[in-house]
Amino acid sequence: MSWYEKTELGKITDYGQSYNPDLLCPLQRAEGREQLGLVVDNLPFYGVDIWHNYEASWLNAKGKPEVAIVQMLFPAESPCLIESKSLKLYFNSLNFKKFDSKSDFTALLTRDLSQAAGVEVTIKLISVEDAADVHRLTGICLDELDIEFNNFQLNPDYLCCHETSEYVSEVVYSHLLRSNCPVTNQPDWGSLHISYKGRAIDHEGLLRYIVSFREHNDFHEQCVERVFADIMRLCQPEKLTVQAYYTRRGGLDINPFRSNYEQLPSLQRLVRQ
């Protein structure tokens, strides 16, 4: 059975009211990484996948509904990522389950998601009243470049460095990232933030590369690892960080972070999230 046959993607779904951790669908990261030439036991980056669920709800001991934003940090070294629709269904199965305290709710999430991912997952509840203001990306916005596009097929060959450029430390970003679900082909929209130290990367080529994801089918996490691997292979920076901020689908946003020198990803959300 293929991985997508194990998921609920593209299927009519029964939204039950009983807690069911078996709804979670773990998918092996190894297959996608092997396609990129990444050695699973010797990854060239530190990473974490930052998820937010804006539709989390459960019942307190008296049966009164509670709500919160749930922040989830999945380490990139985990053997599995969680298919997003299955995570949504899992959270929905908690909507009518009673908990004595918020800490009990958090403990259950930690146990179930850690078991599915294969490593310890960090869970934090954020009160709706305490939610942080939206964040603006810093650096050079590539979207202002006046470029004509006529090819939307993924093409890493757009990536290149200026031949005579000196080493630079630079931060660039784009809001033009679009990739697609590998099963349903639904578009996933996001912003991409890249910081690096090395020979100056050609901005026009980098923007063409980002836009070339427009018809590419892959999971959010694998798209970011592909960007990281392609830039390292073709531009060979000394230091590199890539973080994507994907917009919500079904109340969930996913923000993969990969870096060979930083270990503190941005946990803030953008205006489209």
| pLDDT (tens digit per residue) in 164-202 | 778 999 999 999 999 999 988 999 999 999 999 999 999
> pLDDT tens for residues 107-166?
999 999 999 999 999 999 999 998 878 899 999 999 999 999 998 999 999 999 988 778
Helix residue spans in the chain (DSSP H)? 30-35, 84-92, 102-117, 203-211, 220-235
Q: Which fold has domain 140-259?
A: GTP Cyclohydrolase I, domain 2 (3.30.1130)
pTM of the predicted structure, to 2 decimals: 0.92
Q: Which fold has domain 3-130?
A: GTP Cyclohydrolase I, domain 2 (3.30.1130)
The catalytic residue positions are: 181, 188
Q: Residue 86 above 90 pLDDT? A: yes
- How far apart CA 34 and CA 240 sit, in angstroms, is 21
pLDDT of residue 234: 97
Between 33-42, 57-66, 108-117, the lowest mean confidence (pLDDT) is in 33-42
Portions of the chain given CATH number 3.30.1130.10: 3-130, 140-259
Q: Residue 215 above 70 pLDDT? A: yes
pLDDT of residue 165: 72
Q: What is the pairing mode between strands 167-180 and 252-259? A: unpaired
